Structure formats: C-alpha cells, structure tokens
C-alpha cells in the first residue's frame, strides 16, 4: 500500500514538473479545457437566474372575463361568487361597462371621440386574480371560466407566465445539448493530447514494457496528467465565468432598473466550482484512459 502511494506521488510530481517545463503549452491546453467548460457553466447560471426571477415576479396573474350583453344578474352573481368557492381565485373586481368606458377615455387620449359614440361598445367585465402563476393552472382556469353561462370571452392577462416558462425550458434544453457536445469535445481533446504525449514517449514505454512494467504503471503518469489538467481547467473555467459576469452585471442591473426591477446574473459559488472541477476531471480521465487503452491494445 505504501509503495503504491509512493508511485502515485512520484507520478503526480513528475506531471507537475512536466507542465512547468512547458508553461505555454500547458496554459494553452488549460485554456481549451476552461473555455469548453465555461460555456455550459455560464449558460446554466443564466438559466438559473431567469428561473429564479420568474418565480419571484411581483406581477399578479389576472384573468379578465368579458360578459355577454344578455348576461342575467344571477349569472353575474354566480361568477362573482367564485372568489369564495374556488380556491384558485384570490380576489375579483367587477368592472361595469360605464366604468370601463371612463377608464378608456382617461387613458387612451381619445376622450372626445369616445364621448361622441351613441352607445357604449364595451361589455361588463370581471377581473379575477389567481393565487398562483403557473401557466398550466392559469390556462385550465381560463377554459373553465369560458364555459360558464353569460361569458362572452376570457382573456388571460398573464400569458407571460407560459412564455417565460417556455423560455426557461428552452434554456435548459439548450444547456443539455451544449453539455453533451462539449463533454464529447473535451474527451476527444484530452484523448488527442494524451495520444501526442504517448507518441513522444514511445521509446520509454517500449523499454518499460521490456523490463516488465504493467499496464497500470504505464497508464499512471498519463492519468495523473489528465486529472491535473481537468482540475485546473475546471477552476480556470469558473474564474473566467466569474470575471465575465462581474463585467456584465452592471449593465444587467442598469437594464433591470430601467424596468423597475432588481436583477443580476448569479456568479459561480463554491458548489458550482466543485461540480465543474469534478466534471472536467472525470471527462479528462475518460479521454486519457481511452487513449492509453487504445495504445496498449495495439501494442500487445
């Protein structure tokens, strides 16, 4: 056990020494790994930030029910009574057509034109405020209200909920696709780097095999090299994303302030750092193991 640990320690020191002897090449390899890992990390932070904002928007989800001109007082009262009988409805407001016309005259700027109309073209309306802003629940409530007696049309004023949910879902789907593509690219990049190292140390490997070196002994330095590159590349990716978001967040905050909101993109924390470093290390190890396994299989 002690001898195996000593061999691993020796391989690790040799890996670091080799990286320090070629700092420019090592830095370029680390940058390739870091950039490949930075894209999905940045995308995930953006999607997570949007999802968090979507869940805390102060906008109340509202459904406007426009009544038929032939709606009876009993039908109107039955609709207004839904506030107490339907647990999905928080409150309601009845808007008579005369009040709606006055509001339109005040807000549209065409008060004189609307005042000259012989009849009021607007219907009576009831504005329901829902307790939750889940798009599926709002649409189900909209369909139920549209089927009620005396209802002419139902308008979902908070259709933004469905659009925002779909935007977040699209971001997650894009994130999964990007992760799959860049993970494959990272494995191939690491495998190609290890293959080039194997070619430069071909004679050393052949001599080691002649004197009885095992496959594990030959594989060990390349595995340590891949692990070190994956770990350092993941840390560099987190640093790149942190700097990029630190540069972008002032502009994001200014844009949110213009819309009366407070919002900024989340920066990578310790948990994100751990996940990214673990993922890049594992992917680099897979690439290195495949490259060495392929070489050893060809030269058995």
Tens digits of per-residue pLDDT, 101-157?
Answer: 666 555 555 445 445 455 666 788 888 888 877 767 878 888 888 888 888 888 876
Instruction: Return the ∠ at Cα 278 (arms to 275 and 281), rounded to 5°.
Output: 145
Specify the pTM.
Answer: 0.59
pLDDT value for 120:
61
Q: Which of 134-143, 211-220, 227-236 has the highest mean pLDDT?
A: 227-236
Which domains can be identified in the chain, with CATH numbers? 9-56+163-298 (no CATH), 62-157 (3.30.70.3040)
Q: Answer whether residue 12 shows pLDDT above 70.
A: no
Name which residue leads in pLDDT, 17 or 167: 167
pLDDT value for 113:
46
Q: Answer whether residue 48 shows pLDDT above 60.
A: yes
pLDDT value for 261:
62
Distances (CA, A) of 246 to 10, 30, 201, 249, 266: 39, 22, 43, 6, 10
**Residue closest to 18 by CA, chosen among 194, 237, 234:** 194
pLDDT value for 3:
54
Q: Answer whether residue 33 shows pLDDT above 80.
A: yes
- The alpha-helical segments, DSSP class H, found in 22-72 are 23-55
Instruction: Return the ∠ at Cα 34 (arms to 31 and 37), rounded to 5°.
Output: 150
Q: Answer whether residue 201 shows pLDDT above 80.
A: no
């Amino acid at each position: 056990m002690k001898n195996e640990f000593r061999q691993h320690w020796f391989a690790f020191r040799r890996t670091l020494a080799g990286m320090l002897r070629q700092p420019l090449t090592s830095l370029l390899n680390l940058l390739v790994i870091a950039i490949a890992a930075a894209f999905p990390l940045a995308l995930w932070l953006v999607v997570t930030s949007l999802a968090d904002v979507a869940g805390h928007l102060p906008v109340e989800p509202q459904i406007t029910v426009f009544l038929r001109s032939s709606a009876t007082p009993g039908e109107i009262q039955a609709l207004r009574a839904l506030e107490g009988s339907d647990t999905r409805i928080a409150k309601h407001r009845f808007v008579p057509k005369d009040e709606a016309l006055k509001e339109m005259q005040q807000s549209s700027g065409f008060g004189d034109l609307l005042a000259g109309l012989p009849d009021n073209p607007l219907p009576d309306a009831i504005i329901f405020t829902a307790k939750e802003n889940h798009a599926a629940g709002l649409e189900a409530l909209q369909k139920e209200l549209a089927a009620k007696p005396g209802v002419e049309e139902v308008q979902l004023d908070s259709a933004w909920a469905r659009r925002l949910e779909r935007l977040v879902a699209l971001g997650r789907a894009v994130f999964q696709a990007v992760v799959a593509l860049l993970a494959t690219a990272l494995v191939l990049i690491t495998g190609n780097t290890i293959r080039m190292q194997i070619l430069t140390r071909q004679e050393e490997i052949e001599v080691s095999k002649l004197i009885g070196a095992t496959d594990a002994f030959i594989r060990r330095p390349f595995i340590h090299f891949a692990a070190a590159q994956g770990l350092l590349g993941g840390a560099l990716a987190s640093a790149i994303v942190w700097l990029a978001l630190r540069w972008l967040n002032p502009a994001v905050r200014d844009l949110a302030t213009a819309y009366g909101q407070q919002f900024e993109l989340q920066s990578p924390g310790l948990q994100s750092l751990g996940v990214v470093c673990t993922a890049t290390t594992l992917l680099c190890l897979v690439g290195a193991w495949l490259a060495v396994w392929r070489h050893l299989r060809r030269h058995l």
